[in-house]
Structure 1
Amino acid sequence: MNTRRPVAAALAVAGYVVMLVPILFVVVTAFTAGSTLRFPPEGLSTRWFEEALGYEPFLTALVSSLQLAALATALALLIGVPVAVAIHRGRIPGKGLVEGLFLSPLIVPELVVGLALYQQLMIGFGLDSLTALTLGHTALMIPYAVRVTGASLALADPHVEEAARGLGASPLRTFATVTLPLLRPGIFSAALLSFVTSFNNVPLSLLLQTREFRTLPVTMLDYVQQSYDPMVAAMATLILAGTVVLAVLAERTVGFAKIFGGINR
């Protein structure tokens, strides 16, 4: 940490404390042997992890969340990757405007997007909850696909693709054999980021889901409103552990610092 800027350093430390301390409280509380959410915990036990893994509504919602996140991530990549290539390698007019259009879902509040999609898709067109949620989550994940994939392209040398075309490769062959391998780290990072973001989404999912299809975060939120036992803390700790494992594997496989370093280019 830069000691030449004490104010900035103090703000950074304060920010880390504000973000991490509540998470540590939740994790510690998940191991309590008591029957209520209390800190410090009343002894140590893994009973609430066993309860969470055996609670049928949580398991059903977990499968639904995984299904939704996988569908939304796949669709976002199918749309976002070609858009990123067109913006960074194509010769289309108004590239900044096009990029801003695809990044705009990050600006609009999710509650506003959710209400608009609820009125148009579920009330207007009568779509089921899974379809509406998939379309909504896809719209929210496209900016991640465009931005992170674009960062990967910004780090890549365009002369490699030009050399392939100069040697007689068609545009499609150049994309498949040169551009796509260059994009692989960015695609992997965008997929992971989109999947985790979709899986943990609450505002949009809260407005578009029904009793027939419920995601895990919203199911946990409903449970907290009805019960005050540590089972939600245990489930949240399991989700946190899974996310950390995915992030560590991705960092060792791809390297987030390298990919996200190209975002500012």
Structure 2
Amino acid sequence: MRTRHPVAAAFAVAGYIVMIVPILFVVATAFTAGKTLKFPPEGFSLRWFGQALSYQPFVGSLATSAEIAVLATLLALLVGVPATLAIHRGRLPGKGIVEALFLSPLVVPELVVGLALFQQLIVTFRFDNWPVLLIGHTALLLPYAVRVTGASLAGMDPALEEAARGLGASPLVAFWTVTLPVLRPGIFSAALLSFITSFNNVPLSLLLQSRTTRTLPVTMLDYVQQSYDPMVAAASTLILAVTVVIAVIAERTVGFTRIFGGINR
């Protein structure tokens, strides 16, 4: 079957090549037997994976990144889902302004957000770096919680809730049995996008880090500035493998059509 838009198809293929080829280079150099980042790889070896898994700065910062990502995702959903319900179902005055405020972290550069949090909370109020980093990541993830779950809620027929209420269900029961199942794919996709975004964040984490609070991407960036061996490529390959596993689980359990289909409605 011939495509009706050959130019668009060519740009799409070029885009995939630009995105995928550098990743293949990184994965290939992770298996090199050489001592430097070089392509093509010099032989085959798994030793850099072992060194990456045993390198204490990477292991410690991995725990910090995972902890921040999980907590920030939970907080963003706890705030974003009720805000989405209030925007789409409530009688909230100025709904457009409220929704724009929740989506504003997508527009404001992360460096500006990080600098503002650093000056106000760390410098002025002497907060520890860890809670400020959590606040910053939560703020960055709020747009995903509001936008993605809002897309799922926008595709729901309000008559379903009204029918449940008409049959005697309380507001809580109607939400639990009718609204929540509709929102579940949106919540799942928002959690997935939020976790990946938080885990891979560099600009905000770079500004709000401390000696004891360092995320994995920032630690890897610092390591690249000091060393030129393939251990960072091995660590990146491990992160890529975990991401692929998460994507496969998401596809098997929920399905990408249900997860991301509502975003484009």
Q: What do residues 25-56 of structure 1 show as CA deviations (whole Å, max 9, x unaligned)?
A: 00010000111000000001111000000101
Residues 114 and 136, structure 2, Cα contact 8 Å, conserved in 1: yes
Q: Could you report, residue by residue, the CA deviation over 1:49-73 in whole angstroms, capped at 9, with x for unpaired residues?
A: 0000010110000000011001100
Identity across the alignment (%):
75
Larger deviation: 81-90 or 231-240? Answer: 81-90
Matches within 5 A, 1:176-187: 176-187=176-187
Offset of residue 10 of structure 1: 1.5
Deviating beyond 4 angstroms after TM superposition, the runs of 4 or more aligned structure 1 residues are none
Distance 1:112 1:86 in 2: 28
For residues 88-142 of structure 1, the C-alpha deviation after alignment (integer angstroms, 9 at most, x for no partner) is 2223233222212111100111111111111111111111111011000000000
Q: Deviations over 1:163-185 (max 9, x none)?
A: 11111222222222321222122
Question: 1:121 and 1:47 mapped to 2: Cα distance?
Answer: 43
Stretch deviating more after TM superposition (121-130 or 204-213): 121-130
For residues 158-169 of structure 1, the aligned pairs below 5 Å read 158-169=158-169
Compute the displacement of 1:204 (Å).
Answer: 0.3
Rounded Cα–Cα distance in structure 1 between residues aligned with 2:8 and 2:184: 36
Deviations 1:176-218 (A, max 9, x none): 2321222122111111110111000000000001001100000
Aligned to 2:25: 25
Asked if residue 233 in structure 1 is aligned to residue 262 in structure 2, the reply is no
Moved more, 98-107 or 206-215: 98-107
Q: Secondary structure of 2:264's match?
A: coil
Change beyond 3 A, Cα 1:86–1:2: farther
In structure 1, C-alpha distance between the alignment counterparts of 2:101 and 2:67, rounded to whole Å: 27
Alignment of 1:80-159 (within 5 A): 80-159=80-159
- Which position in structure 2 is the counterpart of 1:63? 63
> CA separation in 1, counterparts of 2:167 and 2:43?
69
Structure 2 counterpart of 1:5: 5
Q: Read off the aligned partner of 1:72 and give its amino acid letter.
A: A
Pairwise CA distance, 1:262? 1.9
CA contact (8 A) 1:73 1:194 kept: yes
Match of 2:259 in 1: 259
Unaligned runs of 5+ in 2: none
Query: What does residue 190 of structure 1 align with?
Result: 190
CA shift, 1:156, in A, is 2.6
- Structure 1 residues 117 and 176: alpha-carbon distance in aligned structure 2, compared to 1, 3 A threshold: same
CA contact (8 A) 1:86 1:92 kept: yes
TM-score by length of structure 2 reads 0.96
Looking at structure 2, the residues matched to 32 and 72 of structure 1 have their Cα atoms a distance apart, in angstroms, of: 36
Q: What TM-score results when the alignment is normalised by the length of structure 1?
A: 0.96
CA distance in 1 between partners of 2:190 and 2:41 (Å): 38
Letter in 2 for 1:20: I
Once residues 37 and 11 of structure 2 are traced to their aligned partners in structure 1, the CA distance between those partners, rounded to angstroms, is 30
- Comparing 74-83 with 165-174, greater Cα deviation is found at 165-174
Q: Which sections of structure 1, spanning at least 5 residues, go unmatched?
A: none
* Deviation, structure 1 residue 2: 6.6
**Kindly tell me: are residues 2 and 56 of structure 1, through their superposed partners in 2, closer, same or farther at Cα, counting changes over 3 Å?**
farther
Amino acid at match of 2:238: L
Contact 1:151–1:260 under 8 Å retained in 2: no
Equivalent AA in structure 1 for residue 24 of structure 2: L
Deviation at 1:15, TM superposition (A): 1.0
